[in-house]
């Protein structure tokens, strides 16, 4: 059980988890919930209620979405229309026949002759249906076997440490933008220069945007003008669960995670809705606003897509959105929307879906593009039958990574976790599948994968295990399989554009885990940790022969690495006792990497009074602008009272300088607010999730003004 969850390194917290778990176990389960009672209860309460299909649900959700749209923009039901060819008064689209759908694809292609044509796979609905059906049967067999054998022995290795720490690695470019004579300002900290990532705050050099949370847990978007004093110019209210946002030129994009249930409730509280009260189908709404007039954001389109949000990017005016979708309804071969992804109330074309030969999941990863200059319809839609969980996007490629934690094999042998990779190229919103491949091991985090000069480099942790037969002592029959010889080490791979392995270093830091990784050009750095932190530097100049250049052993470990300039690598992490490995608060390290073969810790700065920062695990929580020589994050600690400070640093003459320390009052606005920081020119802005913003002078640290919620 422990191994299944993310690993917690902190002994105190482990203890808390343990005590809590015990407290839970001591909780008496009410008699009514015991299986026998439940059986009775179900027998009494299940009647002849008609079963509602997802479709009906989805339409309700879509209808609710269109109501929202009417309120916002006075525009009718277009929200649930995919093309302009159909409209009806009820807001419900009749099921389109396959022919009609094909026609519309043709029309789309005709219109778009000047751009690369959309890729067509030779997948058919029948093939998809047959695949999912076969898998369902396999699953069933597997479960039956497992149930039979589970009383006798451990059947399967627990899935391990899915949540490797979220630290980071970008190319070391500055997150700085200077345009139209505007002042310099901090942009979202991201993986790749020029490929924007969504976040909970945005800064465009004049306006600040943030997702705020109200005391009743509803969400809103706040737009604040920083010119001539802080003024809130707009607030868009009434969201349930906004996750992230983008600002691109005069467009604002919001993602909202929804459940069909809740959307239907919005519509009305009446009985009809109530008796179809649950479906549990997640879907995403993507709102595109025109914010040319920042005071009056106008909804241009609300896209509705079935599935869970995975990730997204914005490049050159196109929004790329990645969703995951599970297949669990195979009632009818002809009801495509039950087993292919549904976008804008329309089942995907089978020919837009790639079914890999070795597909292993009843799930899709869906890639969608939207032209932000013309957000009327989806530009391109592609899907892969895969349970991919990570995407990495460069200026021209999309890498989709599917972590496969354990093989469902009941055979003797040695197995490893692996990652299936797909490469799609993209241009002007059009996707094209280029290559696929597989490597052993699981990626640490978003920064552990990087493309340079046509080569893909990956730092992975490899778990391997052996399966052996369990033989019944008396009968001599095989009664199951058990997992033994679990090992863990780390590898670095170099792959070409065909996703073929061309170079590798394997077997690094046995029984340790990578904590952070970062690549820049021909050099890569990564950190592993047991008691001391070896910072490995790797020479990648010859893709076929990556070589370890050096290993610097220092106390503690870095969770987040960032190239400060070509000679300096910043590490934000924890100090630890060299004997016991026990953490002793946060620390900053600056590594001199001018000679990658002989890396030195040029300076370190102890922050022992702090023991946690979101920035350790979420690179977007780190504000960093190396050109401005400024970085900051919120750190938390305890010294008799709760310490929650936003810390700002620069690096001058070979030493860290603490520029500012602002005590954060996170409880003041009715919620326990997240805090982020950003700057424009010489003013630093501290942004609270409850809508408060404070402005400080970067020159003297003085509070300039406050915007209260």
Size of the site for other proteins (CB under 8 A): 82
| C-beta pairs of 235-238 under 8 Å, 24+ apart in sequence | 235/691, 236/289, 236/297, 238/68
CB of 160 to other proteins, least distance (A): 9
What are the distances in angstroms from CA 323 to CA 89, 257, 263, 302, 433?
A: 30, 11, 19, 16, 17
Cα-trace Rg, the chain: 27
Q: Does 334 bind other proteins (CB under 8 A)?
A: no
Among 103, 108, 177, 243, binds other proteins (CB under 8 A): 243
Contact code string over 155-174 relative to other proteins, x by CB under 8 A: ----x--xx--x--------
13 contact partners, CB below 8 Å, separation of at least 6: none
User: Using CB under 8 A, which residues numbered 385 to 404 contact other proteins?
Assistant: 389
Tell which residue, 573, 664, 582, has the closest CA to residue 617. Answer: 573
Q: Does 41 bind other proteins (CB under 8 A)?
A: yes
- Which range of residues in 46-54, 171-179, 187-195, 553-561 is near other proteins by CB under 8 A? 46-54
Residue (207 or 399) nearer to other proteins, CB:
399
Q: The tokens 């879907």 sit on which residue?
A: 283
Helix (H) or strand (E) holding 125: helix 125-149
User: Using CB under 8 A, which residues numbered 110 to 139 contact other proteins?
Assistant: 136, 139
- Which range of residues in 47-55, 75-83, 452-460, 696-704 is near other proteins by CB under 8 A? 47-55
Tell which residue, 510, 466, 499, 471, has the closest CA to residue 485. Answer: 466
Residue (36 or 89) nearer to other proteins, CB:
36
Classify 145 as helix, strand or coil: helix
CB of 162 to other proteins, least distance (A): 5
User: Using CB under 8 A, which residues numbered 609 to 628 contact other proteins?
Assistant: 611-612, 614, 617-618, 621
Residue (290 or 636) nearer to other proteins, CB:
636
Q: Evaluate whether 372 touches 316 at the Cβ level (below 8 Å).
A: no
User: Using CB under 8 A, which residues numbered 359 to 388 contact other proteins?
Assistant: 362
Q: Does 335 bind other proteins (CB under 8 A)?
A: no
User: Using CB under 8 A, which residues numbered 399 to 458 contact other proteins?
Assistant: none
Helix (H) or strand (E) holding 257: strand 251-259
Residue (41 or 229) nearer to other proteins, CB:
41
User: Using CB under 8 A, which residues numbered 643 to 682 contact other proteins?
Assistant: 671-672
114 contact partners, CB below 8 Å, separation of at least 6: none
For residue 485, the tally of other CB atoms under 10 A from its CB is: 10
User: Using CB under 8 A, which residues numbered 172 to 231 contact other proteins?
Assistant: 217
Q: Does 280 bind other proteins (CB under 8 A)?
A: yes
Q: Evaluate whether 115 touches 428 at the Cβ level (below 8 Å).
A: yes
Among 149, 195, 233, 330, binds other proteins (CB under 8 A): 330
Residue (39 or 627) nearer to other proteins, CB:
39
Q: Does 76 bind other proteins (CB under 8 A)?
A: no
Q: Does 5 bind other proteins (CB under 8 A)?
A: yes
Q: Does 270 bind other proteins (CB under 8 A)?
A: no
306 contact partners, CB below 8 Å, separation of at least 6: 58, 281, 282, 283, 284, 323, 325, 341, 342, 343
Helix (H) or strand (E) holding 80: none
Residue (538 or 616) nearer to other proteins, CB:
616
Q: Does 282 bind other proteins (CB under 8 A)?
A: yes
Classify 298 as helix, strand or coil: strand
Q: Evaluate whether 299 touches 285 at the Cβ level (below 8 Å).
A: no
Among 71, 76, 84, 143, binds other proteins (CB under 8 A): 143
Tell which residue, 597, 607, 606, has the closest CA to residue 552. Answer: 597
Residue (276 or 552) nearer to other proteins, CB:
276
Q: Does 565 bind other proteins (CB under 8 A)?
A: no
Q: The tokens 């013309």 sit on which residue?
A: 374
Q: Does 48 bind other proteins (CB under 8 A)?
A: no
Q: Does 235 bind other proteins (CB under 8 A)?
A: no
CB of 372 to other proteins, least distance (A): 22
Q: Evaluate whether 678 touches 685 at the Cβ level (below 8 Å).
A: yes
CB of 629 to other proteins, least distance (A): 27
Residue (249 or 278) nearer to other proteins, CB:
278
Q: Does 26 bind other proteins (CB under 8 A)?
A: yes
- Which range of residues in 39-47, 79-87, 121-129, 675-683 is near other proteins by CB under 8 A? 39-47
| C-beta pairs of 332-335 under 8 Å, 24+ apart in sequence | 333/125, 333/126, 333/129, 335/55
Inter-helix orientation angle 54-73/260-267, to 10°: 60
Residue (139 or 697) nearer to other proteins, CB:
139
| Rounded Cα distance, 285 and 572, in Å | 35
Q: The tokens 């979202």 sit on which residue?
A: 188
Q: The tokens 């176990």 sit on which residue?
A: 25
Q: Does 17 bind other proteins (CB under 8 A)?
A: yes
The token duo for 342 is 């549904």
CB of 45 to other proteins, least distance (A): 6
């Amino acid at each position: 059980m422990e191994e299944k969850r993310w690993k917690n390194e902190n002994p105190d917290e482990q203890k808390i988890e343990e005590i809590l778990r015990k407290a839970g176990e001591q909780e008496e389960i009410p008699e009514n919930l015991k299986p026998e009672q439940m059986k009775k209860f179900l027998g009494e309460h299940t009647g002849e209620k008609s079963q509602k299909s997802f479709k009906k649900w989805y339409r309700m959700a879509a209808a609710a979405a269109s109501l929202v749209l009417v309120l916002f923009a006075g525009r009718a039901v277009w929200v649930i229309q995919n093309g302009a060819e159909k409209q009806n008064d009820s807001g419900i689209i009749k099921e389109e026949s396959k022919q009609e759908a094909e026609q519309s694809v043709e029309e789309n292609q005709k219109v778009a002759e000047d751009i690369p044509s959309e890729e067509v796979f030779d997948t058919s609905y029948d093939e998809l249906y047959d695949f999912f059906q076969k898998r369902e049967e396999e699953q069933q067999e597997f479960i039956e076997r497992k149930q039979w054998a589970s009383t006798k022995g451990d059947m399967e290795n627990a899935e391990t440490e899915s949540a490797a720490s979220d630290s980071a690695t970008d190319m070391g470019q500055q997150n700085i933008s200077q345009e139209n004579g505007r002042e310099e300002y901090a942009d979202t900290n991201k993986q790749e220069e020029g490929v924007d990532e969504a976040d909970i705050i945005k800064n465009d050099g004049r306006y600040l945007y943030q997702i705020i949370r109200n005391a009743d847990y509803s969400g809103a978007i706040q737009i604040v003008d920083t010119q001539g004093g802080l003024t809130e110019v707009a607030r868009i209210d009434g969201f349930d669960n906004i996750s992230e946002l983008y600002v691109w030129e005069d467009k604002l994009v919001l993602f909202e995670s929804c459940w069909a249930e809740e959307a239907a409730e919005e519509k009305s509280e009446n009985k009809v809705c109530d008796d179809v009260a649950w479906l549990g189908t997640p879907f995403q709404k993507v709102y595109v606003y025109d914010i040319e007039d920042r005071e009056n954001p106008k909804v241009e389109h609300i896209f509705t897509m079935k599935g869970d949000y995975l990730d997204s990017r914005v490049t050159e005016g196109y929004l790329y959105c990645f969703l995951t979708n599970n297949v669990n309804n195979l009632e009818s071969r002809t009801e495509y929307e039950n087993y292919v992804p549904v976008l804008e109330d329309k089942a995907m074309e089978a020919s837009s879906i790639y079914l890999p030969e070795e597909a292993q999941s009843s799930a899709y990863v869906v890639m969608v593009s939207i032209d932000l200059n013309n957000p009327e319809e989806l530009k391109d839609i592609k899907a892969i039958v895969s349970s991919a969980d990570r995407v990495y996007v460069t200026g021209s490629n999309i890498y989709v990574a599917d972590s496969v934690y354990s093989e469902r094999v009941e055979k003797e042998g040695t197995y490893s976790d692996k990652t299936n990779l797909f490469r799609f190229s993209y241009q002007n919103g059009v996707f094209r599948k280029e290559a696929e491949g597989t490597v052993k091991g699981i990626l640490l985090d978003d920064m552990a994968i990087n493309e340079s000069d046509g080569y893909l480099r990956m730092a992975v942790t490899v778990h391997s295990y052996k399966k052996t037969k369990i033989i019944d002592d008396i009968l001599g029959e095989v009664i199951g399989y058990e997992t033994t010889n679990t090992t863990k080490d780390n590898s670095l791979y170099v792959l070409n554009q065909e996703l073929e392995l061309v170079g590798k270093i394997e077997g690094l830091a046995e029984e340790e885990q990578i904590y952070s990784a970062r690549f820049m050009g021909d050099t890569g750095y990564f950190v592993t940790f047991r008691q001391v932190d070896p910072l490995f530097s790797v020479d990648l100049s010859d893709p076929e022969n990556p070589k370890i250049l050096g290993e610097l052993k220092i106390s503690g470990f870095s969770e987040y690495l960032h190239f400060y300039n070509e000679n300096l690598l910043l590490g934000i992490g924890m100090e630890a006792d060299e004997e016991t490995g026990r953490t002793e608060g946060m620390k900053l390290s600056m590594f001199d990497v001018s000679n990658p073969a002989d890396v030195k810790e040029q300076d370190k700065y102890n922050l022992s009074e702090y023991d946690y920062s979101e920035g350790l695990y979420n690179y977007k929580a780190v504000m960093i602008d190396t050109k401005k020589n400024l970085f900051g994050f919120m750190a938390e600690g305890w010294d008799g009272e709760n310490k929650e400070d936003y810390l700002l640093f620069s690096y001058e003459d070979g030493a860290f300088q603490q520029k500012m320390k602002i005590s954060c009052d996170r409880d003041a606005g009715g919620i326990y607010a997240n805090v982020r920081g950003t700057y424009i020119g010489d003013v630093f802005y501290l942004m609270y999730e409850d809508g408060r913003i404070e402005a400080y002078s970067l020159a003297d640290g003085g509070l300039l003004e406050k915007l209260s919620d």
